[in-house]
Amino acid sequence: MPGPYDVVVIGGGPGGYNAAIRAAQLGLKTACIEKRAVKDAVAFGGTCLNVGCIPSKALLFASERFEDASKHFASIGIKVTPEIDLPGMMGHKERTVDQLVKGVSFLFKKNKVDPYFGTGRIVSATQVELTGPDGTKETLETKNIIIATGSEVMPLPGVTVDEKVIVSSTGILSLSEVPKRLTVIGAGIIGLELGSVWRRLGAEVTVIEYLDRIVPGVDGDVAKEFQKILTRQGIKFKLATKVTKAEPGASGVTVTMEPAAGGAAETLETDILLVCIGRRPFIEGLGAKEAGVAIDKRGRVETDGHGRTNVPGIWVVGDVTTGPMLAHKAEDEAMAVAELIAGKAGHVNYDVIPSVVYTHPEVASVGKTEDELKAAGVAYKTGKFPFTANARAKTVAEKDGFVKIIADAKTDRVLGCHIIGPEAGNLIMEVAVAMEFGASSEDIARTCHPHPTLTEGVRQAALGVDNRIMQM
Ligand code: FAD
Ligand code: NAI
């Protein structure tokens, strides 16, 4: 019987592989079990590396370069006539994924994590049964188990994903040709990122959203500006609309929808239908419930806020538990749980988890939105600065978007920041670090920012909290 281990991690995504590496670094004898296979070999890296963050960002990068070359280069004095080589783009995506997936196995070897290929099932707080790809079973003895089994696509009643014409986020990453018409159900992060990829490559994209706004959870001002920009780029939106049925036929898919509040149904024909209405925790076959682990009404493994489940010795990280379904949140929890198991002080600051939508322009946020603060009755001030007034944005031919900083009305402590604009995903980190240190907007405003950079937009927004913007 292999082991005994100090830690057995079930699931090899950003939550699982980071937990395993950190635990091993802390001197704990660690195993990580992953069931995902690519070409009959184990593929660590989870949703993120295999069918999520990484392949989507590779395609976002390539399609954005194509759009730059075809639409934007001329305005800065470069004449080119680019052509799409879709197999070439897919090759870039596949190489990127392959290298990073292999990188996890390399890191396991380097840090002495024992990798296991197969499905893990919790038998008790000290035993995990492993079923290998050929069906053979063995039991791993362990002092601690970390559940890191991630999430899966949320199904939509009446719409059956076949990964051919009705696709999930996985199928949309591997289309063999650019569809003439792409319809997306859900104006969330996946719909807007992957809708943007195929729009840039030539598809007519229509996004159907149940709510009367896009990207719920994102600051309202930012969402409005975002919708305006995406509409200008050519994406069509049908808001406050619900899809009731989708039927594949000879000429694509017939989508039936009706107003969310009720009313007459209408249909739309499309070549490809992407379903992306959210993700749900994945615990199928895990044996967690049977082992007494508490699961909440939404199917998430419950924790005490520090990764402990109700069963001593069983821990949880990542998408399968509460909180935003983001790779970096899973990674933070992974580090914290490994450190807690090793008797150290691990913690995650759930108030400072940045979120980025990798469209162009990017949308990034950290901390509270105005709506959340209003609902909580917190008095706040805001400072807002548009990129039209930022020198660097002008030099790089960017004009859309703004930075908004929200600070406590009494203490001036920064409570949130919301950015739509070029490099928003990088710009947000200055404010995230400031928030980790409990900074005020005055602290950001008094920090010297290099000229000419987009970061000056962040500084001007911070000055704006006290009505002291100088460059507008
Ligand atoms: P996962 O990555 O889902 O990993 C869980 C792993 O556990 C899987 O590989 C699964 O096969 C394995 N597993 C499950 N059950 C068992 C079992 N019983 N035995 C063995 N193995 C098992 N997040 C970001 O932060 N930035 C992004 O840009 C981003 N882009 C995304 C794009 C797309 C298209 C999608 C779908 C998601 C994206 N995400 C992004 C979300 C991100 O992928 C997840 O938040 C992240 O992968 C969660 O990590 P995890 O380790 O909790 O779970
Ligand atoms: P999402 O939660 O971001 O968006 C789903 C959207 O679908 C919402 O706008 C919701 O109102 C809408 N919706 C729900 N039911 C609907 C229905 N029946 N009809 C029409 N619309 C409906 O979920 P999405 O886009 O599937 O992404 C899942 C998760 O993956 C994200 O929440 C995020 O955690 C993660 N992700 C993160 C990325 C990033 O960080 N850049 C990129 C992609 C995914």
pLDDT band at 255 (very low <50, low <70, confident <90, very high): very high
Say which residues have a Cβ less than 8 Å from residue 443's Cβ, sequence separation at least 6: 434
Which tokens go with 336? 């914290």
Distance 98 CA to ligand 1 centre (A): 16
C-alpha to C-alpha distance for 47 and 300, rounded to whole angstroms: 17
Ligand 1 neighbourhood includes 11 CB (under 6 angstroms): yes
Distance 10 CA to ligand 2 centre (A): 25
Is the distance from CB of 415 to CB of 373 less than 8 angstroms? yes
pLDDT band at 471 (very low <50, low <70, confident <90, very high): confident
Ligand 1 neighbourhood includes 319 CB (under 6 angstroms): yes
Which tokens go with 281? 């925790």
Distance 50 CA to ligand 1 centre (A): 9
Which residue owns the Cα nearest ligand 1 atom 8? Answer: 46
Residue 291 has pLDDT above 70, yes or no: yes
Look up 451 and say whether it is catalytic.
Answer: yes
Identify which of 184, 190, 238 to mutate to test ligand 2's pocket (most ligand atoms within 8 A of the CB): 190
pLDDT in tens, 300-326: 999 999 999 999 999 999 999 999 999
Ligand 1 neighbourhood includes 440 CB (under 6 angstroms): no
Atom of ligand 2 nearest to the CA of 211: 11
Instruction: Count other C-beta atoms under 10 Å from residue 328's C-beta.
Output: 16
Distance 330 CA to ligand 2 centre (A): 17
Which residue owns the Cα nearest ligand 2 atom 15? Answer: 277
Distance 188 CA to ligand 2 centre (A): 4
Which tokens go with 64? 């954005």
Residue 220 has pLDDT above 90, yes or no: yes
Is the distance from CB of 145 to CB of 122 less than 8 angstroms? yes
Instruction: Count other C-beta atoms under 10 Å from residue 411's C-beta.
Output: 10
0.75 surpassed by pTM: yes
Say which residues have a Cβ less than 8 Å from residue 111's Cβ, sequence separation at least 6: 20, 21, 24, 25
Q: What is the mean pLDDT of the chain?
A: 97
Which residue owns the Cα nearest ligand 1 atom 9? Answer: 46
Distance 267 CA to ligand 2 centre (A): 23
Residue 1 has pLDDT above 70, yes or no: no
Atom of ligand 1 nearest to the CA of 285: 18
Beta-bridge partner residues of 259: 241
Say if strands 137-147 and 314-316 run parallel, antiparallel, or are unpaired. parallel
First to last CA, the chain: 69
List the Cα angle 458/464/468 in 5-degree steps: 120
pLDDT of residue 368: 98
C-alpha to C-alpha distance for 172 and 176, rounded to whole angstroms: 10
Ligand 1 neighbourhood includes 16 CB (under 6 angstroms): yes
Instruction: Write the DSSP symbol of residue 72.
Output: I
Residue 2 has pLDDT above 90, yes or no: no
Instruction: Write the DSSP symbol of residue 154.
Output: P
Is the distance from CB of 427 to CB of 419 less than 8 angstroms? yes
Ligand 1 neighbourhood includes 128 CB (under 6 angstroms): no
pLDDT of residue 472: 85
What number is the average pLDDT over the span 162-186?
Answer: 98
Is the distance from CB of 110 to CB of 118 less than 8 angstroms? no
Ligand 1 neighbourhood includes 326 CB (under 6 angstroms): yes
Is the distance from CB of 273 to CB of 162 less than 8 angstroms? no
Assign 22 to helix, strand or coil.
helix
For residue 436, the surrounding DSSP H or E stretch is: helix 424-436
Distance 256 CA to ligand 1 centre (A): 31
Is the distance from CB of 10 to CB of 282 less than 8 angstroms? no
Taking the CA of 150 as reference, the closest ligand is: 1
pLDDT in tens, 57-84: 999 999 999 999 999 999 999 999 999 9
| Higher-scoring residue by pLDDT: 368, 40 | 368
Residue 96 has pLDDT above 80, yes or no: yes
What domains appear along the chain, each with residue ranges and CATH number?
5-153+280-341 (3.50.50.60), 166-277 (3.50.50.60), 355-465 (3.30.390.30)
Which residue owns the Cα nearest ligand 1 atom 53? Answer: 150
pLDDT band at 356 (very low <50, low <70, confident <90, very high): very high
C-alpha to C-alpha distance for 303 and 281, rounded to whole angstroms: 14
Type of residue at 146: I
- With a Cβ cut-off of 6 Å, ligand 2 is lined by 156, 185-191, 193, 208-211, 216, 242-243, 276-279, 324-326, 355-358
Residue 130 has pLDDT above 90, yes or no: yes
Which tokens go with 165? 């014409």
The percent of residues in the chain predicted with pLDDT above 90, rounded, is 98
Q: Across the beta sheet with 241-249, what order do the strands follow?
A: 241-249, 252-259, 266-270
Q: CA-CA-CA-CA torsion for 390, 396, 399, 405, nearest 10 degrees?
A: -50
What number is the average pLDDT over the span 250-272?
Answer: 96
What number is the average pLDDT over the span 145-170?
Answer: 97
pLDDT in tens, 7-61: 999 999 999 999 999 999 999 999 999 999 998 899 999 999 999 999 999 999 9
Distance 215 CA to ligand 2 centre (A): 8
By the 10 Å C-beta count (0-12 exposed, 13-18 middle, 19+ buried), 136 is classed as exposed
Ligand 1 neighbourhood includes 171 CB (under 6 angstroms): no
Ligand 1 neighbourhood includes 126 CB (under 6 angstroms): no
Please confirm whether the linkage preceding 87 is cis (ω < 30° from 0): no
> Among all chains, which residue has been given the structure tokens 């000879």?
250
pLDDT band at 148 (very low <50, low <70, confident <90, very high): very high
Atom of ligand 1 nearest to the CA of 355: 25
Taking the CA of 192 as reference, the closest ligand is: 2
Residue 210 has pLDDT above 70, yes or no: yes
| Higher-scoring residue by pLDDT: 331, 1 | 331
